[in-house]
Structure 1
Amino acid sequence: MNKELIINKTMEYVKSKLEGEGTGHDYFHILRVYKTAIYICEKEGADLFVVGLTALLHDIADWKFNDGNSDIGPRLTRKWLGDLGVDDFIINKINMIIKTMSFKGGTTNSKQETIEGKVVQDADRLDAIGAIGIARAFAYGGYKQRELYNPNIKPQKYKDFDQYKVSVDTTVNHFYEKLLLLKDLMNTQSGKTMAEERHKFMMTYLNHFFKEWDCIETN
């Protein structure tokens, strides 16, 4: 099976799994990450086939929706790509990226060793910041029944992944615990450049948020 057909079939597979999902981890999130990853890939000289498949499959079974289990996604990925006849070396490379891609409260090692991993991780993190990142943060916060903001609950620095999984938090705190940190965690020059504007937009948003929270005129 040729590479283009494998990509197209994988896109259809992911759509069947994630279409209509309401927390910001839906099929359109995958498409945005895919398009951004392809854009960065072409600038950074990474393997287009590996980048494309990894971007499409990186959230096929996100740990956040599987009781913290990080192994389901790689297992589904291996079966899907194996059935399509993808070489084991490529499958292993893709799974290694997927296993180590997530931020997870900054409590686990998410450093990417390959240029393909760096490209896809940057693309995924770019979708977590800026205007869409803000929308996704509040969509997921609603799903988790989190308060928008509570001045009595301060941002945390988590000791480990288990603490992160069970934390009681607010969506605004999530900006300080993750989203505002991502600009400085970009791997590629392309990712760093794209992150700058999105980071500035989040800072502007938070400035307005706190003015409105304190009933201060914003004009």
Structure 2
Amino acid sequence: MVKLALIAAFAQQQSSNDHTGHDWAHLQRVTALTQQLLGNYPAVDQNVALTAAYTHDILDEKLVSSEAAVVLRTELITKYQQAGLTKKQIAAVFEIIDHLSYSKNLKTHWQLSLAGQIVQDADRLDALGAVGIGRTFYYGAAKGAPMYDPQVPPRTALTHQAYREVTPVLNHFYEKLFKLASLMNTPEAKAEAERRTVFMKQFVAAFKAEWQLPDTKTE
């Protein structure tokens, strides 16, 4: 029997000091969404999917250095083993978390297992809707990004390097978030993503309508 509580505790410990929107609450929501989606796919290895959901951000390049990631990978292997995952399951989890992120799929679209597709959908769903809006501005603030600059239009094509550049927060909605619904793997996630995207588009329209900087002149 896999002890998911051990994995969850490790994930909570690693994410406890995060202030970018990739904190323990995010991991809990992604895991809950994964669990919800798994209800439609009983043949999927739930332990693989839920383990990946809990730990999908532990090695994220935007959160940890490459040196720290090497150490954390070893710690993850140990924790997975202690939790009772088999060697095959551990390999399946790493295949997911190593290829899950949006940035990893900018150049090459990785074909994930169904378990991976479900976790990817859950992670992307948490980037949408009301919580997604909050996380977007939270992350932008952590990186020192301006909220909005009408003089800086959203980019239409992104490389991995360009994706990591600090740009106005509102541009992120056009460059990534509004595209996620069409990239969902499962029909259940796609339907929820479309609902959340409608809300976000309404928010962005209201935000831009309220963004009225006075045309002041100084002598």
Normalising by structure 1, report the TM-score.
0.88
In percent, how many aligned pairs have the same letter?
31
Matching residue of 1:31: 28
Tell me the alpha carbon deviations over residues 106-134 of structure 1, each in whole angstroms, 9 at most, x when there is no partner. Answer: 52334333110010000000000100000
Letter of the 1:173 counterpart: N
Q: Determine the C-alpha separation between the residues in 2 that align with 1:113 and 1:156.
A: 27
Q: 2:64 aligns with which of 63, 66, 73?
A: 66
Tell me the alpha carbon deviations over residues 122-155 of structure 1, each in whole angstroms, 9 at most, x when there is no partner. Answer: 0000000100000000000000000001111121
Secondary structure at the aligned position of 1:194 is classed as helix
Matching residue of 1:98: 97
Contact kept in structure 2, 1:62 and 1:70, CA below 8 Å: no
Asked whether 1:146 is paired with 2:161, we answer no
CA-based RMSD of the aligned residues comes to 2.1
- 1:121-132 matched pairs, under 5 angstroms: 121-132=120-131
Contact kept in structure 1, 2:130 and 2:200, CA below 8 Å: yes
User: CA 1:163 to 1:211, structure 2 compared with 1: closer, same or farther past 3 Å?
Assistant: closer
Letter of the 1:58 counterpart: H
Contact kept in structure 2, 1:23 and 1:143, CA below 8 Å: yes
Matching residue of 1:178: 176
Asked whether 1:11 is paired with 2:8, we answer yes
User: CA 1:160 to 1:131, structure 2 compared with 1: closer, same or farther past 3 Å?
Assistant: same
Q: Determine the C-alpha separation between the residues in 2 that align with 1:13 and 1:92.
A: 18
Q: Determine the C-alpha separation between the residues in 2 that align with 1:20 and 1:56.
A: 16
Number of residue equivalences: 211
Contact kept in structure 2, 1:107 and 1:158, CA below 8 Å: no
Give the C-alpha shift of residue 71 in structure 1. Answer: 5.3
Contact kept in structure 1, 2:4 and 2:83, CA below 8 Å: no
Q: Determine the C-alpha separation between the residues in 2 that align with 1:50 and 1:190.
A: 20
Letter of the 1:186 counterpart: M
Q: Which runs of 5+ in 2 are unaligned?
A: 214-219
Give the C-alpha shift of residue 75 in structure 1. Answer: 4.5
Matching residue of 1:43: 40
Q: Determine the C-alpha separation between the residues in 2 that align with 1:11 and 1:177.
A: 32
User: CA 1:163 to 1:207, structure 2 compared with 1: closer, same or farther past 3 Å?
Assistant: closer
Normalising by structure 2, report the TM-score.
0.88
